Amino acid sequence: MMIVLSCSYLPDEEGTLYEPKTETGDYAIYYSGSIQPENAFIMIPGGLVDPYAYACWIRDLVREDSSFAVVLMKYPSNLAIANIGKVKKIMDELAGFTHWAVGGHSLGGVVAATTLDDNRELFDGLVLMASWSREAADLSDWEGTVLSIYASEDSLATEEEVQENSNFLPAGVQIDSPNIIPDGDRRTYYYRIAGGNHSGFGCYGLQDGDGTPWITSEAQQELMITVMKSYFESLW
Amino acid sequence: MVRNGLMIWILLIMSGACYTQDRITVDVNGWINYRLATGALQFDPGPNGAGLAVGMAYPVKGSISGKSSVEFGAAGTGNFMAFTVGLQNESRSPRNRLVGRTGAGVLQGIMLYRPAPLYVWGLDMTSMIGYELKNRSVPGMFAGIRYYGIPGYAKISEVNRFLDLRIGMIYLF
């Protein structure tokens, strides 16, 4: 039982062979062009998902926008929750970046919110993918902006759970189009992907217990990329 | 203090020829990994998981014993399950009840992935020192290095081989 519960999802074929600019045992950095940008988005993988399962859309995200890099975090057990302090250590190591946002998928998003709560002054933004913050990391009074992306067919992080935990984020607004328009005091942008599911936030096949999507994961990731680009433009 | 400790360790290992292991021992051990290098031994330090194992040592000849263990842990790119086999030299100092073991082994196992596991191989060297209690059990500590690789992960990342320092606790029964 323990062994089955310890298995990580490997990237499917489409998620492989996207070479990062820099790669160590702790992270992989992606950006386009030859000059390292000043802005960086730290991406924390979901629990028991291999980090490279997110490389499929990270490659397209940085290809379309060279103003920021993506730092994809790695964890030996593929469980970021077992090492919440690691992001801060890596930030200290990567001194070339001056502006930071953090985010994650599923359990990785919970770790991202906790990391931000522990280091509020260091981050400009937070991106939650099928995830939320919790009472222990109450960000409702945080003055930055948050992008929360969720999917209608997600059975592992449902729309209801995203809404139930919205109290722990700054006051929010639902956006129908993937183009972010700053909206005064409402600083959390909720973006719902109709037809998408939990597994569609990465490239690793269908996760156990997930709902059946009625759009392709490529279509889901195109929408993710569009809204994230728009969000980072509003941030940096 | 450190020099005296090292001297005791060296004397224990060198005196192994005088000792004959006379029984099968079973051990449980747990450790943490500290990564020293990745790939073709590029310096890449950082914490790198932990593990638990149940092992057995059986007399071969004189102070040399065979060892085998089954282990479960997290290292490198994910969680794994493996078995190791190897040889070790055991030394005992009856006067102060110290027990030392130094050995090398080969690891074969699987990284726990879906949809299918990936093969992992490794080589390790370990030294332990412990104190023999009246009931003949031996609590102790060990340290060692392990080089291991996941060939199937090479299509995903260039970081698919690791050199780890392992430090842990062991209990021999």
CATH topology of domain B2-172: Porin (2.40.160)
Is residue A112 included in any domain, yes or no?
A: yes
> End-to-end CA distance of chain B, in Å?
29
Structural domain span for residue A105: 15-235
> Nearest C-alpha of chain A: how many angstroms from B78?
5
Residue B165 pLDDT: 98
Residue B12 pLDDT: 47
In chain A, positions 60-79, which contact chain B (CB-CB < 8 Å)?
Answer: 74, 76-78
Interchain contact A183–B (C-beta under 8 A): no
Q: What is the pLDDT of residues B59-100, one digit of tens each?
A: 999 899 999 999 999 998 999 999 999 999 999 888 889 999
Cβ atoms of residues B75 and B33 within 8 Å: yes
Residue A178 pLDDT: 87
Contact A76 B113 (CB under 8 A): no
Residue A14 pLDDT: 55
Is residue A188 included in any domain, yes or no?
A: yes
What chain A residue is nearest to B116 in terms of C-alpha separation?
A: A10
Contact A76 B75 (CB under 8 A): yes
pLDDT band at B14 (very low <50, low <70, confident <90, very high): very low
Cβ atoms of residues A54 and A203 within 8 Å: yes
Residue B76 pLDDT: 87
- Residue A173 makes CB contacts below 8 A (sequence gap 6+) with A183, A186, A188, A189, A190
For the four alpha carbons of A218, A222, A225 and A228, in that order, the dihedral sign comes to negative
Q: Quick one: residue B169, left, alpha or beta (phi over 0 = left, psi -120 to 50 = alpha)?
A: beta
Q: Please tell me which of the candidates A19, A25, A78 has its beta carbon nearest to residue B48.
A: A25
> Nearest C-alpha of chain A: how many angstroms from B126?
22
- DSSP H helical ranges for chain A: 2-5, 55-64, 86-93, 107-118, 159-164, 217-235
| Domain boundary assignment for chain B | 2-172
ipTM, 2 dp: 0.92
Q: What is the pLDDT of residues B132-155, one digit of tens each?
A: 999 989 999 999 999 999 999 999
Best of B43, B77, B148, B163 to disrupt the A interface by mutation (most A CBs within 10 Å)?
B77
- Residue B56 makes CB contacts below 8 A (sequence gap 6+) with B24, B25, B26, B27, B67, B68, B69
Is residue A6 included in any domain, yes or no?
A: no
> Nearest C-alpha of chain A: how many angstroms from B118?
10
Q: Which chain A residues have a beta carbon less than 8 Å from that of B38?
A: 24-25
What percent of chain B shows pLDDT beyond 90?
Answer: 77
Question: Can you tell me the distance from the alpha carbon of B42 to that of A57, in angstroms, rounded to the nearest whole number?
Answer: 28
Question: Can you tell me the distance from the alpha carbon of B10 to that of B3, in angstroms, rounded to the nearest whole number?
Answer: 10
Residue B15 pLDDT: 47
Contact B155 A17 (CB under 8 A): yes
Q: What is the pLDDT along chain A (236 residues), one digit of tens a residue?
A: 566 678 999 998 755 556 899 999 999 999 998 899 999 999 999 999 999 999 999 999 998 888 999 999 999 999 999 999 999 999 999 989 999 999 999 999 999 999 999 999 999 999 999 999 999 999 999 999 999 999 999 999 999 999 999 999 999 999 988 888 777 777 899 999 999 999 999 999 999 999 999 999 999 999 999 999 999 999 99
Residue B16 has pLDDT above 90, yes or no: no
Residue B144 pLDDT: 98
Cβ atoms of residues A63 and A33 within 8 Å: no
Is residue A175 included in any domain, yes or no?
A: yes
CATH code for the domain of A180:
3.40.50.1820
The closest alpha carbon to A220, from A235, A199, A204, A189, belongs to: A199
